[in-house]
Chain A
Amino acid sequence: MQSAVFVHSGEFVLRNVGSEAVLVPIRNRVGDLDAVYVMSPVAVRIWSLIDGVNDVEAIAARIGDEFDVEPATAAQDVNELLSALEGAELIRRA
């Protein structure tokens, strides 16, 4: 997964709320309230780095640097979030 590159996928509404963000997927033109995400500041940053250019390894490295966490911890956090977002069809492999 480390070399995989992702892009945002599908329709969604994203709104920053302070340092967090709330993401509501849109399915069949209505908000899917069963799959709303409240993103922590780290998740918000990961989401912003999903741009079809950065691969997973690069995203984890940026997160490790910017939030001052161990590379292994950063990689785990990034992988977990990407798996969840891919499962929810909010990102797809570029």
Chain B
Amino acid sequence: MRTNAPEMIPRLKALLPFGARIVSGEKKVDFLCSFLAAKPSTRRGLKRFHLFYADATEAVKTLDLDAALEQIEVELRKLVADHSRREIFVHAGVVEWHGRAIVIAGKSFTGKSSLTAAFVRAGARYFSDEFALIDAAGRVRPYPKPLSLRLDGEMAKAVDTPVEDLGGTQGKRAVEVGCILFTLYRKGSRWRPRRLTPGQTVLALLKNTIPARRRPKDALARLRSVALAAEALQGTRGEASEMVRQFLTQLDWEVRP
């Protein structure tokens, strides 16, 4: 990662994804990210943009520095998610309940963070509100990041919320997937899900899997393991807390140590 603005380095460091570490003296890199901070304009009417390149691709272009940094954080996460060899990244919230993972699959603005938070408030252990990291054994690993909660409605800016603020704890070890939920919020809706077949489950997960286009073979192999081991439910839901209460009441998993 390089920049034309050394004063921005501490802020850029803070955007690096979970697991990142600073190295020095590397002459060969896999990916080169460049942040070009806009310099003050010397001509009236001339707009200078903050730019971010992921390799040769212009990924961010904006006049607002805060917006640029927010988008860079998202781009860096996407870069890691797309190129991770050890895990397959699936857009999903994840919690652990009695030794098994509940995966809430869905892209942004599908309500997965609020549903993840509701599970945490109900006593589940937090894994992630953004990605399910599926390892080679088909288990899901934690992706520790604060929850991004939109406190003032769906389109409001997301606020980073440590899991401890919700009274929860962060999961630390990989667990098997017990259940996968595909759900969208609909006001007044009641949780009456239908069960998906393993094939339908793989299809639904593929749509949320970051490297599915570039690495379909690997993605299919891991999603297959997950789909054969877990129950998958699809349906609309009403308020998150009510859905979680209903879901956990109906769940009959054995309590595992």
Interface residues of A (CB under 8 A from B): 13, 15-18, 20-22, 24, 26, 30-33, 36, 38-39
Contacts and interface: CB of A to CB of B under 8 A. Distances in A.
B220 interface: yes
Chain A interface, >50% SS class:
strand
B206 A21 contact: no
Contacts, number: 56
A15 B224 contact: yes
A17 B212 contact: no
A33 B193 CA distance: 25
A15 B220 contact: yes
Interface in B27-62: none
A13 B220 contact: yes
Contacts of A31: 212-214, 216, 219
Contacts of B221: 15
Contact of A26 (B201, B202, B216): B216
B194 interface: no
Interface of B: 197-203, 206-207, 212-214, 216-217, 219-221, 224, 227-228
A25 B227 CA distance: 20
Given A15-B221, A22-B220, A30-B213, 15 more contacts: A13-B216, A13-B220, A15-B202, A15-B224, A17-B199, A17-B224, A17-B227, A20-B198, A20-B199, A24-B206, A24-B220, A31-B214, A31-B216, A33-B206, A39-B199
Contacts of B219: 31
Nearest to A37: B203
5 contacts: A13-B217, A15-B220, A33-B207, A36-B203, A38-B200
Contact of A17 (B207, B214, B217, B228): B228
Most buried by A among B199, B206, B207, B217: B199
Question: At the interface, is chain B mostly helix, strand, loop or mixed?
Answer: helix
B216 A17 contact: no
A22 B207 CA distance: 13
A22 B222 CA distance: 13
B107 to A, nearest CB: 13
A38 B200 CA distance: 7
A10 B173 CA distance: 41
A54 B212 CA distance: 33
Contacts of B212: 24, 31, 33
A36 B217 CA distance: 13
Contacts of A36: 203, 206
A58 to B, nearest CB: 26
Given A30-B214, A33-B206, A33-B212, A20 B220 contact: no
Contacts of B207: 33
A14 B128 CA distance: 30
B60 to A, nearest CB: 23
Given A33-B206, A33-B207, A18 B216 contact: no
